[in-house]
Chains A and B, each alone.
Chain A
Amino acid sequence: MNYLPMMIVFPLIMAIIMNLLHGKEKAVKYITFITAAILIILPFISQYGYYYFGGHGVVNGWVSGIAYLYNPAKQAIIVTLSLIASLVLITGMGEKLKNNMFVTLSLMGFASIAAIVLADDIFNLYVFFEIVSIVQAGLVFLSGTEEAYKAGLRYMIMGNVAAALMLLGIAFLLASTGTLNITDMKHYLLVDNPMIYGGLLLLIVGLAYGAGLPPFHNVKADLYARSKGFISAMLQTYSKFVLVGLMIIILKLFNGLDYFASAHAVLIALGVLAMVFGVVMALLQSDYKKLLAYHAISQGGYVATGLALGTPLGIVAGIFHAINHVIYKSALFLGAYIVSCKRGSNLHKLGGLLPLMPSVAFMVLCAKLAISGIPPFNGFQSKWMLAQAAMQVNMPEIAIIMIIVSIGTFVSMMKAFYLIYLKPVDEETLKEYQNKEVPKLAVFSLFVLTALCIIIGLYPDIVTNYLWDYAKELGVNYYLK
């Protein structure tokens, strides 16, 4: 039996069950832990290859029905996704309110992202792209604050625009090729047809929205900033893998085609702009979660740029960076969550937390060094790989921008670390801190993620070995032309 569809079916079923368990907190907690464990197992027991839903398959050489494709690269992505999802679910069980709705939305989000990554037809991709938009807004609403409702509503309004334009793009592709299956569609794309090109550009609009690239970076950053910290960890994971999923499809369809060149340039430009805008906005923030949110935007730019280069090395670097980023950024957001349980997130009102939770401070420092691209952490490995990929295609200016953005990241991260943990505070404030409880499950999750930052930093082949075959399949060696 192939367990591949269970990666989508199982969390959706559990989401429905959770929705029915309103008010039964112990049952929710117990079932959530079990579900979290199963999510981690599923990617390992699924078969590689194509899966066709509904008993359809290849008929007369054409694919009929919804198709999924699972391979080592996608496995690496979904393993990371399931790990983050499980850790966040576990962390969420330490919260006092809204457990069942949180779990419901989280599981729907997991299913949606897994489907987007696995999708080999644009129909299914579009459906789950929409579902994850609603889920993300729903998760930010769980904060219950006025700012959260505003951020979520803004996100949904922009989401409707982006989704409508993306669907229009899909309509153009369908009109030009007669099919929505990606494997089939590829056969019809050799012709330089303005309708196809228009469809591609509109797909990129959807990509920019889903990933938080300009012009959607402010809306997305606000979404991260207004959620609870552990929910932000999951939201940014969703966005990163929507980016990877959509980019894989765009590369699979268009990479190497002559008319793709200028869209190629558009994608690279979006990535670079996201890098720069993200870090500049981050340097201006006095709210810690907002600062982290804009860094999530910035690092998303790295991923987009790497994938947009379109070479095998660029694709490996981009996916690898997405995986690394969701790990250390989740650690940072969990750290922010722990801090906010003590004292909110206004940097100018924080300080002196180091003596109270030295182990948390150490783990957060590791994550900050990881995001700054400093060895021996995982962020260094993928950023170095990204810079190499940029040099390889004769774009050293992109490599330079990457390094400068890393320096900016380091500066704002160290500033935040000082203001939260090292800055001296008076005795009365210190006593006030001590009464607040540290969420233990969040510390556990933070520990796991920090350990992963170090392990992957020391042994990057653990991840990259899974990525190369697919990257060679998708990638084109532009620099050899």
Chain B
Amino acid sequence: MSNIVTSPEHSMEGALEDAGSMGSIVKVFRSNIRQYGMLIALIVIMLFFQFMTSGTLLKPVNLTNLVLQNSYIVIMAIGMLLVIVAGHIDLSVGSIVAFIGALAAVMIVKYDINMFVALVACLIMGGLIGAAQGYWVAFLKIPSFIVTLAGMLVFRGLTLALLEGQSVGPFPPTFQKISSGFIPDVFSVEAIHITSLVLGALVSAALVYLSFRTRRNKQKYNFETLPVSLFILQNVALTAAIMYFCYLMSSYKGLPNVLIVLFILIVIYTFITTQTTIGRRIYAVGGNEKAARLSGIKTSRLSFLTFVNLGVLSALAGLVYAARLNVATPKAGTALELDVIAACFIGGASMSGGVGTVIGAVIGAFVMGVMNNGMSILGIGIEWQQVIKGLVLLMAVFFDIYNKNKG
């Protein structure tokens, strides 16, 4: 009797399971659409321009160029993300880039100060600038928009004063290497840069190991994980993307120095934001400052630190920028702050604070970068480039908010 009753149920369950695995893929996709949405958008944009430029976009030379062009924006976007997550904004980073570039040029070119001393001095100066602005914001409670708007004017002015209205350059070759250098190849093989490939392989292996470990941990605590097939697919796709990228780069001059710096920064800041107390607390401050304060968190100090951090990273970006142009000009970095802020918002950060990821900001920066690059190759005028970039920013944030409301 009971057999008769249970057997149809059994087959029903089987049918449900089949529908389930199909349904689970859809479900996985839905629940991750916000996380992967921008990555997918970036890939689509890259494929689009790859097709439109008949393959120029992903040519090794152009790809290298793309990385170099956007490196300083990515560096600042990482710092800006923390400031935005803490619930603030910084409009002065473009001016800081110019000011630090000018400072470096005056020290190195005019006064012939030792390059490494000058570099360290510039980074410290960046920290001091961040501290000065952060002090007004965090402890004197002046809105960051106002403080950094003032900073934007002040440091642009100081740049002009420092350079006496003129361009100063060129930098010595060692300094230029910050931006235009490539990692040395320890294996001497013609036509291909083996070290870059080896590095790529190591990074891939590390990432696969990490994702495997996370999955095991999740399973241990009974959390939802991707089905095995999707998990493997995800890792294969990731590895393939990294190796293809490294292959392209190594068939030109190999990995640029800046890319290594970027990679290290991304790893460090991803770790800080997701795994450490200080990272968690910055998100809490941005999410609800009052509740965070009443939970014993020193909210003002954290806000202050995010500005100091951005100051140092802006200084680093300023050095990269100056090295790339090989000259310090009073107009350097104009409107750069807007690209940086746009990168964070395209990458999913929230205006009101408490939301955003480092990887998102980096992807956001490359979305803007690929569009700049692709449209330039296509010969689209600067006027229409601006219009298109503006609309993309608007659509990206709309997409994000629309998804949030639906979820």
Task: Say whether A associates with B.
Answer: no
